[in-house]
Amino acid sequence: MRSDGRNGGVGRTRNQFPVGMRVLAVDDDPVCLKVLETLLRRCQYHVTTTNQAVVALTMLRENRDLFDLVISDVHMPDMDGFKLLELVGLEMDLPVIMLSVNGETKTVMKGITHGACDYLLKPVRLEELRNIWQHVVRRKFSNRERANIDGLEECHRPSNADFDNVHSQITCGSPDQSGRPSKKRKEYHSEEEDEGDDSNGQENEDPSAPKKPRVVWSTELHRKFVAAVNQLGIDKAVPKRILELMNVEKLTRENVASHLQARHLPHFVQFIPALAILRTDMFSTKYRLYLKRLSHQASIVAALGGSDPFMHMGTFEGLQGYQAFTSSSGLSSFSPQGLLNRNNPTSFVLQGMAASRPIQIATGNSTISHSIGDANKYHLSLPGNSRQQGSVAQGLTASVGQVQLSQKWIHEETDDLSSILSVNGLANGMPGTLQNVTNSPLLQQDLVECRQAKVVIQPSSPTSSDRLEGTVGVSSSLMDSHASQQSRLPLSAFSTSALPIDGSFGNKSIAELGVKPSGGTNICASSDLRVARDNKVGASSFGSGILVSPETAPNQKYLSFGGGSNLRQNMDGGNPDRLLDSKLVWSSLPISQPPSLIGSHHLMSQRPNNGSLGARLIGQVTPSDSTAAPQTKVDMFIPGEMLTPKNASDLSFPKVQTEFSSSSCSFDGLLNSIIKVEKDDASFSDGLGCDFYSLGACI
């Protein structure tokens, strides 16, 4: 013991970091608390103790930045440790370690699902405490790492921040630094991954990270970033200029570029308004023509061979002269993994929007990107099988002018793309309808045949009062697809809908598809996300659609997927409101379950006010299809922020992928995945995938 202690101390000292880590220890038992305190001090942490959970909560609320980690007993008279855990997770985004004499699996699981980053049994040993600093580091770095790591990992921390002050956190269970794929990781991470912590000086934590120090995108930093982007305008929001506007010391262009990528979705969302405008203007004209052309060809679904396909897309678009379509780039990003290849990649082009973002789906495996394009023809399905791994991602992004961004993003995404939806956001609308979405299926390299489909998704189901403009049709499609997915009907449906380009997606399409209208929903564009607020919109109707509306909250930024469980709740609840405030933790999700899955996106809505979380799932996609409504997916969208590719990937994709992998859907992997998920109950991926798919489908 001693040696350990000593060694530990020495080691820490070397890196400095663990030394002085601020730990809040909460235990109603004076004996345990005393011992715990002494042990923690031995580890050279800065320890604060209290024997009341309520006091602990008060301290945390008042001095949120004064603690790095919370260690709490499970059984306390004034407040259940799980409750404290939950509140801390929601409000502070601090890693919480639960402590109990009771090591029953059920109890431990409860701790994990409530967001505990670790669960220690009494008596706690010095060896264990000497390692707890890793949770702090992990959480802080999770985002970065995720991004770095293969791109698969992604977190939505930012999103949390974005969400609001609330700090809602969405945690993605981003993969650990190590990049281990293990489920455990996710579990643990889930809490940790909350990125909220990042804001607290992640720098300190760098030591742990093997990688070069990264910038922690704190809420504040992210806001500056968003402000800079907004100021510049979508078209001009290049890293260099953003950096200049942000005027933050030590921040590099690379940091901004990386963040930009990550934030694709968010950006889009933010941009949405602008995009919307662009859409209408630019896109509506040239683009549409273009789309039409494409549409003819659209039927072609080529499998994209490699990741490059995306690139092609991009070029393609470029050729077209529609740079505006960043979407294409976005698409590419999506498929980076080559997902697209198999499938047809579809790309959606939202009309005005650029949105295309990829969703990544698959972990790296195969991802399917659907393009959206015309639905009809899309038979993504084929690929689907192949996709098995499936992932789909899609992103729609609308971006006009943002090509650059998209490209960048794309790069980032390589790993995974999460889907990103970019929607146009019109602020207005809440859940509006997606306006036009054009899809353009990607053809292989050269072919670019896209159809345009503009999908307008109207959330009919949702009340629809609002329209989503924008974009996101995808999601809906996804949904549909999901629903139908198995059958693949959705596709057709989509296509149908798609065909009518301008038409609205509406439920009708869905219906056509065979999917039930209900399923149909969509999510749409970011703006639409708002829908979420409304909530239900999508949900009700589809069950699946998630919308994120960027507009509403530019702030909102990211939705994270992570918390599947929460999602479920929402789903279940049907209440949009609920939203997942809670953090979702991927990890937990993954861990537990399959069931939850939705996880990925949780949050979106955290705050109703803000608006929107995008994520709502719709629960069940198709009634038929998904039996389990819960499963349904949630879509995650992050309203404003979106998912960053990274995030997306982080989110869950990897795992999700697996789930997806089972894909059976013809649609692209997405469908497959989704389907799988549903089947499996893994909502997450599915949800995501679904959405995406649907989008694609729509397209």
Partner 1 sequence: MAAAALREQLNTLLSSMFASGMVDEQFQQLQMLQDDGGTPGFVAEVVTLFCDDADRIISELAALLEQPAVDFDKVDAYVHQLKGSSASVGAQKVKFTCLQFRQLCQDKNRDGCIMALAVVRNEFYDLRNKFQTMLQLEQQIQAQQ
DSSP 148-198: HTTTT----HHHHHHH-TT----------TT----HHHHHHHHHHT-GGGG
Taking the least distance from each CB to partner 1, the nearer of 102 and 231 is 102
Tell me which residues in 54-93 interact with partner 1 (CB under 8 A): 73, 75, 77
Smallest gap from residue 56 Cβ to partner 1 (A): 17
Q: Where are the alpha helices (DSSP H) in 29-156?
A: 30-42, 53-62, 81-91, 105-113, 126-129, 133-148
User: Looking at this protein, which amino acid is placed at residue 129?
Assistant: L
Under the binding rule (CB under 8 A), the answer on residue 20 touching partner 1 is no
Under the binding rule (CB under 8 A), the answer on residue 264 touching partner 1 is no
Under the binding rule (CB under 8 A), the answer on residue 39 touching partner 1 is yes
Taking the least distance from each CB to partner 1, the nearer of 50 and 406 is 50
Strands 437-441, 420-421: pairing is: unpaired
Smallest gap from residue 144 Cβ to partner 1 (A): 35
Of 50-58, 100-108, 570-578, 582-590, the window that binds partner 1 (rule: CB under 8 A) is: 100-108
Instruction: Out of 49, 100, 414, 461, point to the residue binding partner 1 (CB under 8 A).
Output: 100
Under the binding rule (CB under 8 A), the answer on residue 6 touching partner 1 is yes
- Confirm if 163 and 610 have CB atoms less than 8 A apart: yes
Under the binding rule (CB under 8 A), the answer on residue 19 touching partner 1 is no
Taking the least distance from each CB to partner 1, the nearer of 31 and 54 is 31
User: In 3D, which of 319, 353, 588, 617 has the Cα closest to residue 462?
Assistant: 617
Taking the least distance from each CB to partner 1, the nearer of 122 and 157 is 122
Under the binding rule (CB under 8 A), the answer on residue 5 touching partner 1 is yes
Under the binding rule (CB under 8 A), the answer on residue 1 touching partner 1 is yes
Instruction: Out of 14, 41, 211, 240, point to the residue binding partner 1 (CB under 8 A).
Output: 41
Alpha-carbon span 352 to 435, nearest angstrom: 9
Instruction: Out of 32, 437, 529, 638, point to the residue binding partner 1 (CB under 8 A).
Output: 32
- Confirm if 409 and 512 have CB atoms less than 8 A apart: no
Taking the least distance from each CB to partner 1, the nearer of 2 and 212 is 2
Taking the least distance from each CB to partner 1, the nearer of 123 and 321 is 123
Smallest gap from residue 45 Cβ to partner 1 (A): 13
Token representation of residue 422:
């970019």
Taking the least distance from each CB to partner 1, the nearer of 42 and 508 is 42
Neighbours of 291 (CB within 10 A): 33
Alpha-carbon span 599 to 475, nearest angstrom: 16
- Confirm if 510 and 502 have CB atoms less than 8 A apart: no
Smallest gap from residue 659 Cβ to partner 1 (A): 37
Neighbouring residues of 271: CB distance < 8 A, sequence distance ≥ 6: 229, 230, 234, 237, 398, 399, 402, 422, 424, 425, 550
Query: Applying CB under 8 A, what is the total number of residues that bind partner 1?
Result: 27
Token representation of residue 268:
């889009």
Alpha-carbon span 339 to 601, nearest angstrom: 22
Tell me which residues in 434-493 interact with partner 1 (CB under 8 A): none
Smallest gap from residue 355 Cβ to partner 1 (A): 54
Under the binding rule (CB under 8 A), the answer on residue 8 touching partner 1 is no
Neighbouring residues of 692: CB distance < 8 A, sequence distance ≥ 6: 359, 361, 369, 370, 392, 393, 394, 395, 419, 421, 474, 475, 478, 670
Taking the least distance from each CB to partner 1, the nearer of 46 and 75 is 75
Site string for partner 1, 117-146 (x = CB under 8 A): -----xxxxx--------------------
Taking the least distance from each CB to partner 1, the nearer of 20 and 30 is 30
User: Looking at this protein, which amino acid is placed at residue 675?
Assistant: I
User: In 3D, which of 415, 390, 419 has the Cα closest to residue 327?
Assistant: 419
Smallest gap from residue 36 Cβ to partner 1 (A): 8
Smallest gap from residue 34 Cβ to partner 1 (A): 5
Q: Which helix (H) or strand (E) holds 2?
A: helix 2-15
Alpha-carbon span 619 to 635, nearest angstrom: 9
Smallest gap from residue 46 Cβ to partner 1 (A): 16
Smallest gap from residue 562 Cβ to partner 1 (A): 32
User: In 3D, which of 92, 391, 65 has the Cα closest to residue 200?
Assistant: 65
Strands 46-50, 22-26: pairing is: parallel
Smallest gap from residue 188 Cβ to partner 1 (A): 23
Tell me which residues in 576-615 interact with partner 1 (CB under 8 A): none
Taking the least distance from each CB to partner 1, the nearer of 31 and 66 is 31
Tell me which residues in 304-363 interact with partner 1 (CB under 8 A): none
Taking the least distance from each CB to partner 1, the nearer of 128 and 502 is 128
Smallest gap from residue 128 Cβ to partner 1 (A): 11
Tell me which residues in 510-529 interact with partner 1 (CB under 8 A): none
Site string for partner 1, 615-634 (x = CB under 8 A): --------------------
User: Looking at this protein, which amino acid is placed at residue 71?
Assistant: I
- Confirm if 390 and 366 have CB atoms less than 8 A apart: yes
Q: Dihedrals φ, ψ of 421, to 5°? A: -120, 135
Taking the least distance from each CB to partner 1, the nearer of 71 and 313 is 71
Instruction: Out of 23, 36, 108, 537, point to the residue binding partner 1 (CB under 8 A).
Output: 36
Instruction: Out of 23, 24, 26, 42, point to the residue binding partner 1 (CB under 8 A).
Output: 42
Token representation of residue 222:
């992210």
- Confirm if 648 and 595 have CB atoms less than 8 A apart: no
Under the binding rule (CB under 8 A), the answer on residue 31 touching partner 1 is yes
Taking the least distance from each CB to partner 1, the nearer of 45 and 494 is 45
User: Looking at this protein, which amino acid is placed at residue 464?
Assistant: S
- Confirm if 685 and 665 have CB atoms less than 8 A apart: no
Alpha-carbon span 670 to 608, nearest angstrom: 28
Report cis status (omega within 30 of 0) of the bond before 123.
yes
Alpha-carbon span 626 to 633, nearest angstrom: 9
Taking the least distance from each CB to partner 1, the nearer of 124 and 256 is 124
Of 116-124, 333-341, 357-365, 608-616, the window that binds partner 1 (rule: CB under 8 A) is: 116-124
Instruction: Out of 58, 102, 165, 178, point to the residue binding partner 1 (CB under 8 A).
Output: 102
Instruction: Out of 19, 35, 289, 319, point to the residue binding partner 1 (CB under 8 A).
Output: 35
Smallest gap from residue 134 Cβ to partner 1 (A): 21
Is the dihedral angle over the CA atoms 572, 577, 578, 580 positive or is it negative?
A: positive
Smallest gap from residue 125 Cβ to partner 1 (A): 7
Neighbours of 315 (CB within 10 A): 17
Binding site for partner 1 (CB under 8 A): 1-2, 5-6, 28-32, 34-36, 38-39, 41-42, 73, 75, 77, 100-102, 122-126
